[in-house]
């Protein structure tokens, strides 16, 4: 089965059709800049544009940078506050004309890594950390997801963690890889004290530069880079939609 996966990020919205049996993109991904306001209407228009450009008429999965419960947005860290309380699945289904299923973006990336990437066949406690505009987390215990963890917003030294350890923070402060890695390491140690993961998978755009900062990380857990890199969010969004479709069929 093929599903269109869309990954909504702080700077770009990316999409491509996905073969959910293999995790492969069936066409080159399309990327459109995230609207500056990041309000519901403009983002919904970009999602509809991606659907239209692929001439898509089937189910759509979307990874979204917020906690999403029962199809409704519950948080808004790197998006406009108007998203809180928005019935996002209804909004996107209406604007695209396709059945659309929405999941937290880090959860989507985590699902892809657990199915096709660095977490494949791994048991125990696995933590995926996506490092980009913000910090996203996905937590799995024996391959079962605990959704919407939002550990990127724990406080460290009285500051939201992503203000110090995200890739955007590195760029804004013009930090060397070594200095930024110290902040990331402090954050990972905090997570390790809370949940004691067996494996931490580092994803997001910065995972392409893994070798530049991993020598400075000192956590006890096993570390590895994400295997799917920037495609994880797209693939995981499609996987999440497929799982929802299966659940709907099972209960119908």
Alpha-carbon distance of 90 to 72, in angstroms, equals: 9
CATH code matching the domain that covers 121-227, chosen among 3.40.50.2300, 3.30.420.40, 2.60.260.20, 3.30.70.1230: 3.30.420.40
CATH code matching the domain that covers 2-107+231-251, chosen among 3.40.50.10680, 3.40.50.1010, 3.30.420.40, 3.40.1410.10: 3.30.420.40
Residues 40-60 pLDDT 10s: 999 999 999 999 999 999 999
Q: Using pLDDT thresholds of 50, 70 and 90, give the confidence band for residue 229.
A: confident
Domains 2-107+231-251 and 121-227 share a fold: yes
Q: How many CA atoms lie within 13 A of 102 on its CB side?
A: 23
Domain layout of the chain by residue ranges: 2-107+231-251, 121-227
Give residue 198's pLDDT.
98
The alpha-helical segments, DSSP class H, found in the chain are 40-53, 88-96, 105-116, 162-165, 167-173, 177-195, 210-213, 232-251
Residues 61-118 pLDDT 10s: 999 999 999 999 999 988 999 999 999 999 999 999 999 999 999 999 999 999 999 9
Global confidence as pTM: 0.94
């Amino acid at each position: 089965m093929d599903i269109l996966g869309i990954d909504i990020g702080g700077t770009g919205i990316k999409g491509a059709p996905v073969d959910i049996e293999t995790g492969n993109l069936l066409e080159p991904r399309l990327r459109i800049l995230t609207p500056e306001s990041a309000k519901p209407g403009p983002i919904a228009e970009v999602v509809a544009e991606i659907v239209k450009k692929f001439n898509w008429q089937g189910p759509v999965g979307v990874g979204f940078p917020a906690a999403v419960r029962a199809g409704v947005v519950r948080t808004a860290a790197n998006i406009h506050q108007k998203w809180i309380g928005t019935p996002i699945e209804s909004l996107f289904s209406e604007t695209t004309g396709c059945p659309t299923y929405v999941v937290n973006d880090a959860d989507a990336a985590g699902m892809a890594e657990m199915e096709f990437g660095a977490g494949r066949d791994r048991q125990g406690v696995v933590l995926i950390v996506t490092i980009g505009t913000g910090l996203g987390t996905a937590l799995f215990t024996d391959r079962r997801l605990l959704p919407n963890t939002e550990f990127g917003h724990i406080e460290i030294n009285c500051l939201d963690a992503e203000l110090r350890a995200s890739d955007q923070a590195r760029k804004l402060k013009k930090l060397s890889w070594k200095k930024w890695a110290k902040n990331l390491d402090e954050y990972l140690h905090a997570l390790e004290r809370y949940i004691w993961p067996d494996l931490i998978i580092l994803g997001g755009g910065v995972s392409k530069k893994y070798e530049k900062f991993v020598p400075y990380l000192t956590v006890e857990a096993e570390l590895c880079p994400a295997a799917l890199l920037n495609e994880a969010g797209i693939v995981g969004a499609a996987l999440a939609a497929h799982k929802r479709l299966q659940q709907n069929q099972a209960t119908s």
